[in-house]
Amino acid sequence: MEFGILGPLEVVQDGRQLTPVRPKQRVVLALLLLRRNEVVATDELVDALWGETPPETAPTALRGHVSALRKLLGSDTIETRPPGYILRLRPDQLDLTRFEKLAHEARGEVDPARKAELLRSALALFRGEPLSDFRYDAFAGNEAARISDWRLAAQEERFEAELALGLHLDVIPELESLVSANPQRERLRGQLMLALYRAGRQGEALHVYQEGRHELSEQLGLDPGPVLQELERKILRQDASLASPVYTPVRSEEGERSEPIERQPLPVRFVRRHPVAAVLLALAVAVAGAGSATIALRGTGDAGQIGGDAL
């Protein structure tokens, strides 16, 4: 039996929907899921169901709702444990704990390809906003906000990994949407600026910075943080450190991994004077690099810059 709160409440067993229909039974189950494997006091459950003015029959009605849930989920799922009830769950039975496990594993992963894969799997568990059918219930508000923040942090980590893999074109649409929804989230804004810059959209990257500066000034009376300010300065001077990295699979005892290949700059004047030789050299480096098909040609001094997409 699997339980879901990363979206509307859901209970599924062998492909069959067992989600309770009655609103108060859904509230009881949602609260027990949030406090899984912990005792939830009867008073807390009564408060979640009826607020500050419960009827005299509230304890009896609560026992009836718990009894109905036991019939639906199995008699041993919810135990009576003074001063209330406890829902027994294995970690793999709840989508939230599976998300937490994958996100924790990703935080310890140094390979950006594997990190991105883990985070995509974690984020795929969301079916919408967490606890979306309890958005007006006091017991769920703080928990839903906390889970949403975890989700956003995981999205930022995923973007970081995908940018390290050179996937800047792929992440721009989602980053634009998230920056619009979270205008004061500076890490997201910086990731969008970097992705746009690597896509050859330097003007748009700087515009994203100015929008963030205006948002922070108008709403909070603050300037962008030092990380974002430094990123703007690097974009203005076309700093070579902002160039997109190139990765290639590397086999090791742990299996196939991804490691960065150091970009070797070719002066622009060499490319202009010897275009055929430059292409042949690029192809030779690509073959030597175990299949890497992207070679960066970088200018030096004031000569300008040619990105990896130029070939």
- Written as six digits, the tokens of 6 are 């990363």
**By the 8 A CB rule, do 5 and 125 touch?**
no
For residues 232 and 225, what is the distance between their CA atoms, to the nearest angstrom? 11
Q: What are residue 263's phi and psi, to 5 degrees?
A: -75, 135
Q: State which fold the 2-91 domain adopts.
A: Arc Repressor Mutant, subunit A (1.10.10)
User: Which of the four pLDDT bands, split at 50, 70 and 90, describes residue 249?
Assistant: low
Instruction: Read off the pTM.
Output: 0.79
Least confident of 1-5, 77-81, 173-177, 262-266: 262-266
Question: Which residue, chain included where needed, has tokens 């001077």?
Answer: 237
Burial bucket for residue 85 (CB in 10 Å: 0-12, 13-18, 19+): buried
In this structure, which topology does domain 95-240 adopt according to CATH?
Answer: 1.25.40
pLDDT at 43 over 60: yes
| Spatial distance between the Cα atoms of 224 and 236, rounded to a whole number of angstroms | 16
Query: Are 2-91 and 95-240 the same fold in CATH?
Result: no
Domain boundaries, the chain: 2-91, 95-240, 262-310
**Rg of the chain taking only CA atoms, in angstroms:** 26
Report whether pLDDT(264) > 90. no
CA separation for the pair 191, 175 (Å, rounded): 8
Q: Between the CA of residue 108 and those of 149, 224, 246, what are the distances in Å?
A: 19, 29, 22
DSSP one-letter string for 228-272? HHHHHHHHHTT-GGGSPPEEEEEEETTEEEEEEE------HHHHH
Interatomic CA distance for residues 196 and 210, integer angstroms: 14
Whether 254 has a pLDDT exceeding 60, the answer reads: no
Kindly report the average pLDDT of the chain as a whole number: 85
